[in-house]
Structure 1
Amino acid sequence: MSNRAARRNRSGSAADRLGLGSTSVEAPVAPVCDIEAWLATYQPRGKSWRSTPEAPLGFEGWDGVADFVRATVGRFLEREGQVSLFTARTLTRAVTELALFAAEQGTTVSSTTVLNHVTVQQFDQALAKALRARVKAAPARVRAKVETAGTSTIASQVGTARRVGQALNPRGGWPAASERRHRYLSLPYTSAEVRLLEDQISRNQGIARRNGEAFLVLGLGAGLDGRWVAQVRREHVEDLGVDGLMVHVPGRAVPVLREFEERLRALVDDTPGGGLLFGGTAVHRGAASEAVARIRLDPAGPELELGRLRSTWLVAHLALGTRVPELMAAAGLESMTALSDMAEFVAPLDQDPDRCATAVRVMLRGVEAVAR
């Protein structure tokens, strides 16, 4: 056997060593006790898969999801039986990245909210977006290699996250393989669910109530989710008087829906200069998730998910007839995928079928409706 072949048998292919494929030589199965001991002390290292040259990302929020990750991987391994330590590492890294992603979106970290089809698809989208940024920043001579390796990693790790989710949360909305579509959406709240959230949040006290009010106003009124809502300061809100309010976030300005203007003004008036609208002054990764966890809600009611507030805002604008180009700009969307996903949640023009058909015909003719 050549030296090259011997090295390949000992260590597997290059893709195997990078965790991008299956090993060419089956790794020895580790005793369960060894994996349990390793998992108890696991700490993620290096850079997140969602890291980009412009926005380096590590694992700053690990402490907030560590217990969930260890419990989730432990439960999954109990179902799977003995596995190699390499497999345990792959599983744990995938669940860690998924949990941190969900927490940064303001999702309460639990099996039902993290291990579901929607969250995994959004995670897939976030990884793909980060990969595009890394490919763009890479030297031209290696871009193809970066893209190939990154695409393989995404497929492997998203597949791992999906497998864990399907095993531990079978009611997570998983489509059959033949029905699986590349869609990324958080379901909008119904009007009844919004009323329940409003009522439950109003029953909180102190900073928790402040957090909840800011999430509702900025989410339902301006479409801001966990990526932006915990970074909005008093100075980012522009009051135009009778012309309403604008919330400025990086790269865009978002007009606030009229029904939320007075509530936003109240938040601004109650925020000191330099302060964050949702409370405090310091911006840190995971702040939105921590604030969501602080808010007490009825377990029987809807959970507070910032992505769902944003989806509800999108549906509200579609129902108002807001033009697509302007809505995409205000929402910071790069494609129409999110809007096409939300279209099915827009209420009909009229509950009466005949009147609805008439209203649709009038609208599509491009003429004003005639009062009868």
Structure 2
Amino acid sequence: MPSIHRYSDDCHRGVLPEQGTPPPRALRQIEDYTPNFPAQHWDAIANFVRDVARDVQCATSTPVSDLMSVLARYVLWAWQTAGIDLDRETLFRPDVIEEFIDHACPTLTSSSRGTYRSRLLRARQTLLDAEGAGVHFDPTPLSPADPMRLYSLQELSALHTWASGQHTVTRRRDAATLLALGAGAGLASEDIVRLKTDDITIDGLGVLLKVTGRRARLVPVLETWEQPIIDAVMAIGPGLPVFGAQRTSFNNNAVSNLVARSSGVGIKPSLQRLRVTWILHHLNVGTPVPHLMKAAGIETLDAFDRYLRFLPEPDANEFRTALRGPSPMEDNS
């Protein structure tokens, strides 16, 4: 998938004259815009929405208020309901946009839904065009690198090889920790960079993570992924980041920087795919959905819609047995 990067700085400097430069009035409107939803939610996504709006406004005549209202509602849904990271490449996928239109806009008229879809797809295309990608919206099958595809056992084995092949002890530990926090607990970059050794409980029930930040929660780690986290805690000591122990700030780019600068050829980890793998594992083994929602930091069932296509079809006996079940009215005394 082509990358969608921030280019508003170039646009504002006039480096992209063919895209145009938003007038000062438009930039002020973007900065001053306040949506009609709780302030604490807007505070969490405002900078991301404004960055996107400034970039898109370089190449559109859509009134700022109209653009901002659509972007704000869409990003709020992606962040709060769907549990999607504030990452352009994931958030502006056409299938995510379609999911928003299908599930998050039930009160809109057909015409309004079409307007929302058009503006979001146009925003995506504007960002892609700025990168020279020339990508349009024809549906395409999932590629092996698709952020919505889970990792196979063979791919996970290759990722273990990637982690163990890093050139220093610290990099090997960070790489192994990254895989464990992603595939073993479904953490996003912003969760990982804030996680300190003091936030990790290791006891007879396994490993429990206390995630802080905008989606604060407790996450039990899958047993098969516990050891790299235990090893990191033992090696690093109290009060330090479990990933990148020498860091002094909560820079979300720390994860992508490690992956980008890592040694080795072939497959490298995507946190989005690791999270998908973690969620699908739990759905497949029958983890109660309320428990999974709590651990994933997801607020509504709509967020699971995108995963259902990856679940195997149950055979007839499994289907009947699961739905027959014991009666809740049975006397178990």
Q: Tell me which of 84, 90, 94 is aligned to 1:117.
A: 94
- Residue in 2 that maps onto 1:304: 269
Q: Tell me: CA distance 1:358–1:218, structure 2 relative to 1, closer, same or farther (3 Å).
A: same
Aligned mates of 1:89, 1:288 — CA distance in 2: 35
TM-score, length-normalised on structure 2?
Answer: 0.61
CA separation of 1:344 and 1:248: change in aligned 2, threshold 3 A: same
Match of 2:262 in 1: 295
Task: Show the counterpart of 1:230.
Answer: 193
SS in 1 for 2:241: coil
Query: 1:336–1:297: structure 2 CA closer, same or farther, 3 Å change rule?
Result: farther
Determine whether 1:244 maps to 2:206.
yes
Amino acid at match of 2:322: M
Paired residue for 2:7?
none
Gaps of 5+ in 1: 1-31, 74-83, 129-150, 176-184, 350-355, 368-372
Once residues 121 and 202 of structure 1 are traced to their aligned partners in structure 2, the CA distance between those partners, rounded to angstroms, is 39
CA distance in 1, matches of 2:33, 2:172: 34
Distance 1:198 1:226 in 2: 19
Task: Please say which of residues 154-163 and 325-334 is displaced more in the overlay.
Answer: 154-163
- CA displacement at 1:263 relative to structure 2: 1.9
- Equivalent runs, 1:18-29 vs 2, <5 Å: none
Q: Say whether 1:215 aligns with 2:192.
A: no
Q: 1:298 to 1:168 in 2, by over 3 A?
A: farther
**Equivalent position of 2:9 in the other structure:** none
Deviation at 1:248, TM superposition (A): 0.9
Q: Measured at CA, do residues 249 and 357 of structure 1 come closer, stay the same or move farther in structure 2, by a change above 3 Å?
A: same
Q: CA deviation at 1:330?
A: 1.5
Can you list the C-alpha shifts for 1:211-269, whole angstroms capped at 9, x where unaligned?
32222111111111123122111111111x22111111133211111111222111211
- Across the aligned residues of Structure 1 and Structure 2, the Cα RMSD in angstroms comes to 5.0
User: Structure 1 CA distance, aligned partners of 2:262 and 2:33?
Assistant: 30
- Structure 1 position 169 matched with structure 2 position 169: no
What is the rounded CA distance, in whole Å, between the counterparts of 1:281 and 1:163 in structure 2? 37
Pair 1:335-2:305 in alignment: no
For residue 78 of structure 1, what is the aligned residue in structure 2? none
Q: Deviations 1:45-85 (Å, cap 9, x if unpaired)? A: 975999984336547xx9xx9xxx99xx9xxxxxxxxxx96
User: What is the alpha-carbon distance in structure 2 between the residues aligned to residue 232 and residue 324 of structure 1?
Assistant: 25
User: CA offset at residue 277 of structure 1?
Assistant: 1.3
SS of the residue 1:222 aligns to? coil
Alignment of 1:3-18 (within 5 A): none
2-structure distance, mates of 1:312, 1:171: 26
Distance 1:268 1:292 in 2: 21
Aligned match of 1:260: 225
Task: Say if 1:208 and 1:360 are closer, same or farther in 2 by CA, change over 3 A.
Answer: same
Partner deviation per Cα, 1:147-175 (whole Å, 9 max, x = no partner)? xxxx9997665222333459723588559
**1:314 corresponds to:** 279
Evaluate the alpha carbon distance shift between residue 223 and residue 161 of structure 1 in structure 2; reply closer, same or farther with a 3 A threshold. same
Q: Any stretches of 5+ residues in structure 2 without a counterpart?
A: 1-13, 22-26, 79-83, 105-112, 142-146, 327-333
| Cross-structure match for 1:81 | none
Mapping of 1:140-151 within 5 angstroms?
none
Task: Quote the Cα distance in structure 2 between the aligned partners of 1:221 and 1:49.
Answer: 39
Instruction: Name the SS for the 2:242 alignment partner.
Output: coil
Which residue in the other structure is 2:163 paired with?
201
Aligned residues: 270
Q: Name the SS of the counterpart of 1:270 in structure 2.
A: helix
Secondary structure at 1:224 match in 2: coil
Contact 1:226 1:307 in 2 (8 A): no
CA, structure 1 residues 324+58, in 2 after alignment: closer, same or farther (shift >3 Å)? closer
Which structure has the greater CA radius of gyration? 1
Instruction: Quote how far apart the aligned CAs of 1:204 are.
Output: 1.7
Contact 2:190 2:252 in 1 (8 A): no
Q: Which residue of 2 aligns with 1:363?
A: 322
The one-letter code of the counterpart of 1:35 is P
Q: What residue number does 1:87 align with?
A: 60
> Judging changes above 3 Å, is the alpha-carbon distance between structure 1 residues 362 and 261 closer, same or farther for their aligned structure 2 residues?
same
Distance apart, 1:297 and its partner CA: 5.0
Match of 1:278 among 237, 243, 247: 243
Distance (whole Å) between structure 2 residues aligned to residue 295 and residue 171 of structure 1: 32
For residue 35 of structure 1, the aligned residue among 3, 14, 17 is 17
| Pairing 1:42-121 to 2, within 5 Å after superposition | 47=31, 53-54=39-40, 55=43, 57-58=46-47, 87=60, 105=85, 116-118=93-95
